[in-house]
Structure 1
């Protein structure tokens, strides 16, 4: 039932109507602020209870946050879209978590990369995010305890797997604690010294150049394409150079105040990149999880069939299988496998018991919530 206090007074959209609506918005803002403050107080109480139980308490619970966001999206009445509503709650949870203990997160930098965008999407703006120049350095910082978590790219829907990330897991004891899937939109960016008809060189990361290959062939076939360490580095270069452009995303465009000559130039409109959250602890089930492992097989006929057959028989949905050269002997390979389900699921345990019997070595990389946002 509508509150008469806020009902419009005139049918012609007069100032009285606007004033009444503004009063209603002010009242709603006050109530929202009170509820957020109450939630923050509750989060602070949770922190005190956890610390009383253990000085080494884990404050960030990926499975709990995934459950909250999924519930918010299921209950959302509109008119805001589900993802927009979940993003608002993501920031509320991020701010409340910072009251308990601010998260320190390392990501593949520099500033302005898609990996930074993924880190903010997953942890919110209240996390303390630090850029690092290489994937293996992100792994080292998390292993050393200098940061709580790391964010690294693992696969792109157009260009495939990021080998450096897979290889880093082969020498690491870290666990996968979560994932982020980010829609990737590339823009052609220039500084104030460059005109559209004068672009003779285009900088970007090699993967981004590959993801925009057809568009570049059609629009800038004679421009030199130069691969650099990141899209953000490409944007930094063209900020002060003449007759150059960069392929990068929204964050880099804002960071370096560049003009967009063309937007969304990626060849595949559904272009997306998956990022992994790496940490030092296991994650309990969230209800919709993914598990990753790496397995080494003996070099014999039918080895791959022996590895994947238990998953098929136990009706486990395998979502990715990648092969990488082993570091223990020429022409030996290891297999990286992703599948739906959690290590605590009975069917998963049964399948993995058989895999352990058939493989020469199996290392579980972790079970974690599937990406919500």
Structure 2
């Protein structure tokens, strides 16, 4: 139904306008009596074989929603009804910022892809916390509520030499309201941000966050989200950095600046590319990290997952969990259900 009827209508309009319209629609529909339960029954798949424990957290299933969809933590409970095992909010910055000028989101239908240059548009970390405080899972760690990851970054106006301060602010402000953290230094849409992936500044940043982490009674898992455009030498550096800083894992990968193999006219747009063109490269990065580290840390695989086969390949390459974004937009919530059912059979 989604691909035959709903998606063609949505894809007729501007992608950013559709995003906000869809948010409003999902929120409205879930407020209708009994509808929330119907949606859960349609898409949620629950089985003990799907459960997974990583870095001290119990995931009801291994399929998450990647950061960038629910930036401001406005819809995490409603989205969890669609079958996700965890939701990652953000990227959040200390201060609210509008992001880059519009138009900044482009569909590449011929390539089943998206290019975005959003630029960390969000209402600021404190604004998100106001909504996260209403999340039952912040007070009831019973496994009945969706796990939430907090993806954090720096404000555009903050120079790289002061970036650690922005990450610390986000980390400490969010600490009581998310289950794990993701350090985003790999978005191509904030000027000079990717320079923080270099070995020395990244090591210093993660060590500083671990110091902040140790100031709390119970530490929270910290993961690093990396770009798919890193060389093998840089990926080996990432392995060394994880070992040195003792963070909990990696999310592989963010969007790419590569335009190899694209057919759409929109390929000339500046920004990060996601979707099917990223499928193979993100899997290559996962496999490289898993093999070269001897699976020394958990990996969350994301990038170009549009089918059950794509998901299985990520896991066979070494991903412990996976996340959807562009595949969710193109394929709809049935993809989540199909992957979970396939995992149960396997």
Instruction: Answer yes or no: same fold by TM over 0.5.
Output: no
* Larger strand fraction of residues: 1
Normalized against structure 2, the TM-score is what? 0.28
